[in-house]
Each structure stands twice: as C-alpha cells, then as structure tokens.
Chains A and B, each alone.
Chain A
Amino acid sequence: MNSTQRVFAAVTGEPADRRAFTLTLSLYGAALTGCPLDLYHSVPERYLEGQRAVLDSIGPDILFSPFVLPLEGRAFGCELAPQKNGPPNVKKPAIRDDAGLRALKAVDVESDPGLAYLVESVRLMSREFGPGVPLAGILTAPTDLAAMILGIERWLEILLFEPEAARDVLHVAVSHFHAMGSALLAAGATCIVTPVMFCNPQIMNPELAGTTVMPVLREAFGNAPGPVIFHHGGIPLSRHLDLFKDVPNLLGFVLDERDSFAQARQSLGPDPVLLGGLSGPHMPGRTPEAIRRRVLDVLQDRQDDPRFILATTSADVPMGTPLENILAVRNAVFSDGSPS
C-alpha cells in the first residue's frame, strides 16, 4: 500500500498493511535541509526541499503545507516578528481601531505574497510527490483568524459585548477560509486541517459558542470544497466533542495528547477519523525509548479502532528535536503487530 491507500483505509475503516502515521514536520524540513527560516517560509521551492527531506528521512504518511498561520494574519495587515527557531509571531494585530474594523475586508489569495507562498508550496509538493502522498493544507479557522487580526483581547471584547461587529468580522473570516481552502485544495491538498481554539469551552462560554461561533463554523466547514479535519488547537478536546460532532463535512479530529480516545469515540461514534497520540512540542524532551513506549501504548489502546491515525498533536515538532526521537515514532509503528 502507498500512503494514500493507507490513509484512506483509515478513513473508510478498511484493513491496511500497517497503521498510518504522521508527525507535523512542517518546520522540521528546515532543520533537515539547513534552510534559513526566512527563506523556508517565503520560497516555495525551499519548502519543497525541506518536505522532500522529511519524506526521505522519516517517511510519514501525510505531509503538511507550511505551518505558518501568521502569514494569513499578515495578509490582513498584521505585523509579524521573526523567530529564531520557528515561524514568525504576530507582533501587532491588523485592526487597531474602529476605523480599521469598519474597513475590514477579504484579501485576494493570489496577490498576497504570503498566501501565494502557502498555496504554491502545496502545488509543488503535489506535483513532486504525486497522488501517493496525502497533503494536509493547514488553515486558520475563521474564529481564530478573527482573534489573530484583532488581537485576542479585542476579539474577546467584541465577541462578548459587540455581537453585530463580531458577525461582521466572522463574515470576512469565513470568506477568507473558503477562498484559501479552495486554493489549497485546487493546488493539491487532500484535506484542510484547521486548528480551532476560539470555540472550545475552555476558551469560550458554551452559550456564546452556541449562539455566535458554532453557526459560523458550520457554515465555513459545511461549504468548504473538501474535507476538513478539526484540530484541537493545543487544548484538550475529547470531553467537548458533543458540541462539534454534527458540524458538517468534518472528516476527523486531531486530539490533544491529554485527551481520551475512548471518550472521543463515545461522543463521536465509530465513523470520524481520530488522529493524535503524541505531543509534538514534547518530542525534544523525551528519549527515543519513552517515545517508542508511548507510541506502542497508543497503538495498543487503538488496536480495535480502524479509523485511527497516529499523529503528533499541538504545534509543529520543534526544530531542535533529535532525529532519533522522530525515527523512534516510525520504528515503533513499523514494529507494531496490532491490527490496523
């Protein structure tokens, strides 16, 4: 089986030759190729080189588009600050006053250099790696894009106390999600993976989520021109899945390492794909043996669950992670004897 066949077996619940696995190794490609991050995050060909190295060295079953969500914020006017060991941060939000709020409008995907880089990177990967390797297009959820372009504090203020303004912002964010999602899928992405924080009950009151935020997610995901994977966004998700299980067009959920897959299955039923098991940001601080044991424990836990893909959770695997730690994941998956 190739990776696409293996991943689609997990989607349909069919048997596979082994368990599909992936790590979020968007950033790690730069480490493998020694590429400076400013180039890696602006030149699609350099990103392709990095992902080629990821595929050659580690061979995950799913590759990712550049995990640089702030580029979407920059397209709206956010000021970014470069980081030594990761993608740039949002330094200043795009909207700093009421006039900016009133002037907010969708941006053109093709003419913005950052968005064009994201799309072109997927196009190059798709062309090089072909249909045998699924590509996940990472895209900011509309609710979270609003927080990025307004700043978290201002977005909370608007959500809590200015519902009409919140609806206007979300309308623009949904338009962007659709335009950018369409572009990534047209470029060759197999699905959209979208980290969602700003409707998790740990962030947002359930009542507010129900009245203001969830309708927006239903619209955005339901109208996406391809399947969407709901990513936990760094917050445990499994005990809140009842809120999200009926959102249309969701192919699956990436869960936090602290989550319970059993609890998730109880909420969601047998059909959605579950991904997760291993925290990406924890990878540098663990030994290869600890990682191997963790992977085998997770695979054992999910041995009777065909719709499961072992994956890293939370943010990208840090650049400084020893390669042997990453290979420990692959080796554990390859040595696992449980049915998949």
Chain B
Amino acid sequence: MAHPLSDPAQELYDLIITARRAEAVDVLLATAGRTGFKNMVSGLLEPVLTRIGENWMAERISLAQGYVAGKVAEDVLMTAARSGEQWSGERKGPAVLCCIEDDFHALGRKLVGVFLRSAGWDVIDMGDDVCAADLVDRAVSAGARVVGASAMMLSTAMNIRSVREELARRGLEGRIQLAVGGAIFRLRPELVQEVGGDGTAESALQAPALFDSLLARSLALAPEVAP
C-alpha cells in the first residue's frame, strides 16, 4: 500500500486529478517562492508525480489526468527556465526522442519529454516520422546515451527495428540504449524484444526511471567517453 502523501502534496494531487491546472501551478510556484525550485521539486512535485504515475500504471486514473500532470509540470518548468532557476539538482545529459518513421501520434512522446525534462534530462525532441538514420545521427552528434522511439500501431512499431539495425551497423549497441513506447507496446509487450528495444515504460511518468536505468546500463557497458 502506498504511503500517504503530505497534506500539501495531497492538495496538489487533488488539484491535478480534477484538472485545476492553473491552481496547481500557483501552489507549486508559491512553494518555490518560499523554498526555492529545487526543494519544491523534490519535496512536493516529485512525490505527487510519483503517486500519479503509480495510479496511472494501475489504471486508477485516466490519460487525461496524466496529461494534466504533464501540463502542470511543463508550466512550472517553463517558469523555472524563464527565471533562470536550476530545475533539478542532477543533470542526466541528453536524451533524443521521436515518433518513428510513418508514426504521427505525438502526445505520448511529448508527455515523455515533459517528464524527462522535469527529471533533469536535456531532451531533444525530433518530432514525428523520423527515420532510424536521422535518429542515430542526432544521438551521436548530441552524445546521447539513450534514445526513445515511439509508435502507436503495430505497423509503425515494426519500423523501430531499423533503429536497432542502425545501432548495430555503426557499432553503437550497448553504448546507445533504445527505449521504445506507445500504445501498441502495452497491448503487445513482447514487441519490445521483437523490435529490438532495450526497455519500455508503462506510462510517460515511468519514463524517467526507465531512462535512468538505460543510462546506467550504457555507462556500465560502454564507460568510455565518445570520440
């Protein structure tokens, strides 16, 4: 059973779940004004996002509610950027995201980007319909150790195989880890292996934990600094 949230965290959770986005952002910014952004993130926002992620994964809350959580995080993130605040205590490095070739379902990818940024990743979002070579090129040029490819349907998910092939062709397996996601991977979890993914997440809110684990695996397998 999950630990109870603190009173302020429960208040924030309730605001997000009932789609009171502006009020939720106000609460977070007011807290940041008192304690600083970093403490607000670790003490208030992160526990609430963790709880929302748990409930989303357990199908106790809806995509729309997860979406509101993403928008609240994004609103606060943008405010932090404008004010020059340090968002997170730990920078994780670059992560490159895209919807794979022929896929145009952007929402899940965008939410993943929001939650990765809030966890300290420098997200490079390449958008929809990205071919494997372009994705790998961008990852190499940015020095990214984790890339994320999203697909909603079976037919487009199969295009992710070409990312695995491209990584192998360039000798980057292990060093660049491939996260895969999208609705079809929830329906057919075995597809993660079929398309050559190194891992997937149940929801956008679980993406930071996945990317953290893939980064750790990359560093273990290829500790050298890229040329």
List the interface of chain A (C-beta within 8 A of B).
Answer: 81, 83-86, 89-92, 151-153, 156, 159-161, 201-208, 234, 279, 281-282, 285, 314-315, 318
Contacts and interface: CB of A to CB of B under 8 A. Distances in A.
17 contacts: A81-B104, A83-B155, A85-B155, A85-B158, A89-B104, A89-B153, A153-B106, A156-B63, A156-B107, A159-B64, A160-B68, A205-B65, A234-B187, A279-B187, A281-B184, A282-B188, A318-B155
Interface of B: 17-19, 21, 59, 61-65, 67-68, 102-107, 110, 128-129, 153-156, 158, 183-184, 187-188, 190, 194
A30 to B, nearest CB: 13
A208 B64 contact: yes
Nearest to A207: B18
- Most A CB contacts (10 A, CB to CB) among B21, B107, B155 go to B155
Contacts of A151: 106-107
Which 6 residue pairs of A and B lie closest in terms of their CB atoms, listed nearest first? A86-B155, A152-B107, A203-B63, A85-B155, A153-B107, A160-B19
Contacts of A90: 104
Given A202-B63, A281-B154, A84 B110 contact: no
Contacts of B183: 234
Contacts of B17: 205
A83 B183 CA distance: 18
A159 B62 CA distance: 13
A208 B59 CA distance: 17
B187 A314 contact: yes
A153 B62 contact: no
B110 A153 contact: yes
A161 B155 contact: no
B160 to A, nearest CB: 14
Given A153-B67, A202-B59, 8 more contacts: A81-B102, A91-B104, A151-B107, A153-B106, A160-B19, A205-B62, A207-B18, A282-B188
A281 B152 CA distance: 12
A89 B102 contact: yes
A198 to B, nearest CB: 9
A85 B158 CA distance: 10
Contacts of B184: 281
B54 to A, nearest CB: 15
Contacts of A206: 62
B161 to A, nearest CB: 13
